[in-house]
Amino acid sequence: MTAAQQPIGVFDSGVGGLSVLQALRAELPHERFVYLADSGNAPYGERGDAFVQARTHAITDYLCRQHHIKALVVACNTATAAAIHEARARHPRLPLVGVEPALKPAVAASKTGHIGVIGTRGTLTSAKFAKLLASLDGQAHFVVQPCDGLAHAIERSTAQAVPAASDATETRALCARYTSAMGRFGTQAGEMDTLVLGCTHYVFVQDELRSLLGPHIRLMDTGEPVARQTRRLLQATGTLVPENGTPAPAITLLTTGALEPLQNAATRWLQLPAECCATVDLPVGWSADPVR
């Protein structure tokens, strides 16, 4: 297998990173992908940094050794904030792409200069996020809201092929609780006209957020910028698959948790067959030595 034929690894604490995989597939339709949902340990946003770092290292080592990935997309805001610098040090020859809340694009898009940001507590209390927020000091007014439980509720909604009414009620109630706590959304002076989705899971409740906030509020996520950055890195390393019109290759989806929720999410959100999903046993100490 040539370097270009090797797959791109993508991982998240659960199914939320499928929103990033969706953008990657649109940008890079001829690439192979291996996606790993660490659903057995989700959500990361309410875990400590040491735990998230250990999971990131175990998953990265596994994808390198077992699937020979040519690049890795850390499709999780919490894992990016807690562990991507260490991952780069452990794997210096592996191109890595992380995600971060889309504050800079939101500043460019907002007309009122008032921007809401929702995310997990782990992301929004991280040093990485604080540094990003400080870099935009004076450019906009940000209202930052941790959304405890929302990512977990989105995970639970995939337990059945058709979401249970109670799951839909729970996710909508959480969206309503957190957005109402932030203040006034709208297009008038002093109102928030832009909402940054600071967790990859939240892309899958866009409809609920739009129904609560109205059609004129911009929702900003990171999928497309991450996909474009991944293309640039592959081009720089000479490992981009040529766009020669070949059909899109098969995709492998793995989970450390129950199989059915990943199958339901893949079918519901990416229109992928259940057969592309499998389980993997990946303890924290899967690999003691970094892959170089």
Active site includes 64?
A: no
Which residue blocks in the chain are alpha helix, DSSP H? Answer: 18-27, 49-67, 77-90, 103-109, 121-124, 127-135, 150-156, 165-182, 206-213, 223-237, 259-270
The dihedrals phi and psi of 72, each to the nearest 5 degrees, come to -135, 130
Question: Treating both helix axes as pointing N-terminal to C-terminal, what angle do 206-213 and 165-182 enclose, rounded to 10 degrees?
Answer: 50
Which CA distances in Å does 120 have to 219, 225, 266? 17, 20, 23
Q: Which of 64, 76, 147, 175 is catalytic?
A: 76
Q: Report the distance separating Cα 87 and Cα 81, nearest Å.
A: 11
Q: Tokens for 31? A: 């690439």
The dihedrals phi and psi of 144, each to the nearest 5 degrees, come to -105, 130
The residue whose two tokens read 């504050």 is 103
Cβ contacts of residue 38 below 8 Å, gap of 6+?
11, 12, 13, 14, 44, 55, 59, 255, 256, 257, 282
Active site includes 76?
A: yes
Q: Report the distance separating Cα 39 and Cα 195, nearest Å.
A: 26
Q: Which of 147, 175, 199, 277 is catalytic?
A: 199
Which CA distances in Å does 75 have to 18, 31, 102, 138, 174? 8, 17, 13, 29, 23
Active site residues: 76, 199
